[in-house]
Amino acid sequence: MAGFYMMDMSPRQEELGDEDRLERAPLGTFLLSFLDQEWQGLADEAMELRRRAYLMEQAQRGFDSLRRRFQGAHPLFRQELDRLSASADSLYALGQWAGEMARFHPLLYAAVERVLDRDTGDGGADGRYRALLSEIGELSRLAERFHEGVSVRYHMGAGGGKLCYGAKDLRILLYLSFEYMVSQGTAFRRCLNCGRYFIPFSVHTCYCDRPAGEGKTCKSYAAKANYSKRLQADEGRSFYVKQNNAYQMRVRRSPELYPQEEYRLWQTRVRSLLEQLDRGEVSWEAFQEQAKLPGRRRPGAVKGRKEPPQAE
């Protein structure tokens, strides 16, 4: 089975697959799936499993265990693995392929970071891409080689035929999808929870939809975290109101022990602490500690000085 893959792209969607079948997904799905994989770890493990496997079945089991990691990955990676599993030395083939992907990964990652990540660069994506190509010779040589490795195919689909890019090497299609997104000005952003790249729905989206454990996604985690932050801010406000009322009462009852100016200073300080609590710059515990009322004072005691000794 020879690997030959095809790709078609539009501003919102991409279709990828082999000559028989193309699968539709949101634009960027393939590239993001590539960026998410731990290619070097996979390559190392494949070689290590191969070294330890004395029997064919052991090698096969090793291959299958590595293949399970691709359950959530893009279908094209799984298709490539199926192809590799048919080769005589499948673990070796997997190790070679993963190694190739691992060497390509930092280059494509840097390209995404420099060109598509709107938070790290300014100006147009096109200008940033041109600057990157002139800066990294390795990338521009690779781009040239990739372009020469692309062919065009007419794909007969159920909904009609269309012209597609075709290539044997998945890296070529990955690079083309990157270039397509540069041409579209597609913006990538790093998720504030997991740190991985995603394509934000709007400029306000800061979290991705990847699973983040306990049946939640990064986005739903963030919603919960913001909610508890808001609760904390509300709690801080009611804590302040209570303290403030108590302080006010003391100032009114015994102004000689609790001077008005001191009270005003306390108020200013705690209000600014409250704002810091809102912004998450100070913890709830630290806020409570710093917003405490001054200790109780007995009549006759003077602040900052010991009580004069009692006359005998």
Return residues touching Zn ion (CB under 5 A): 191, 193-194, 208, 210, 218
| CA gap 58, 230 in Å, rounded | 54
Side chain identity at 58, as an amino acid letter?
Q
| CA gap 269, 277 in Å, rounded | 12
The strand order across the sheet containing 13-17 reads: 22-26, 13-17, 5-9, 160-167, 151-157
- Cβ proximity to Zn ion: between 207 and 240 the closer is 207
- Cβ proximity to Zn ion: between 91 and 218 the closer is 218
- Cβ proximity to Zn ion: between 150 and 194 the closer is 194
The least distance separating Zn ion from the CB of residue 112, rounded to whole angstroms, comes to 16
The least distance separating Zn ion from the CB of residue 121, rounded to whole angstroms, comes to 21
The least distance separating Zn ion from the CB of residue 263, rounded to whole angstroms, comes to 46
Size (the chain), residues: 312
User: Residue written as tokens 């454990």?
Assistant: 213
- Cβ proximity to Zn ion: between 191 and 199 the closer is 191
- Cβ proximity to Zn ion: between 21 and 210 the closer is 210
| CA gap 80, 84 in Å, rounded | 6
Structure tokens, 173 = 């299609």
The least distance separating Zn ion from the CB of residue 219, rounded to whole angstroms, comes to 8
- Cβ proximity to Zn ion: between 197 and 247 the closer is 197
- Cβ proximity to Zn ion: between 188 and 287 the closer is 188
Of residues 175, 140, 142, the one with CA closest to residue 7: 175
List beta partners, residue 217: 211
- Cβ proximity to Zn ion: between 58 and 205 the closer is 205
The least distance separating Zn ion from the CB of residue 35, rounded to whole angstroms, comes to 12
The least distance separating Zn ion from the CB of residue 115, rounded to whole angstroms, comes to 21
The least distance separating Zn ion from the CB of residue 208, rounded to whole angstroms, comes to 4
- Torsion sign, CA atoms 68, 74, 75, 80: negative
Pick left, alpha or beta for residue 160 (phi over 0 → left; psi -120 to 50 → alpha; otherwise beta).
left
Q: How far is CA 13 from CA 127, 131, 180, 294, in A?
A: 24, 27, 11, 63
Task: List, in sequence order, the alpha helices (H) in the chain.
Answer: 29-36, 39-52, 56-67, 75-85, 90-111, 125-135, 137-148, 170-184, 218-253, 260-278, 284-290
The least distance separating Zn ion from the CB of residue 25, rounded to whole angstroms, comes to 18
**Phi and psi at residue 305, in whole multiples of 5°?**
-135, 150
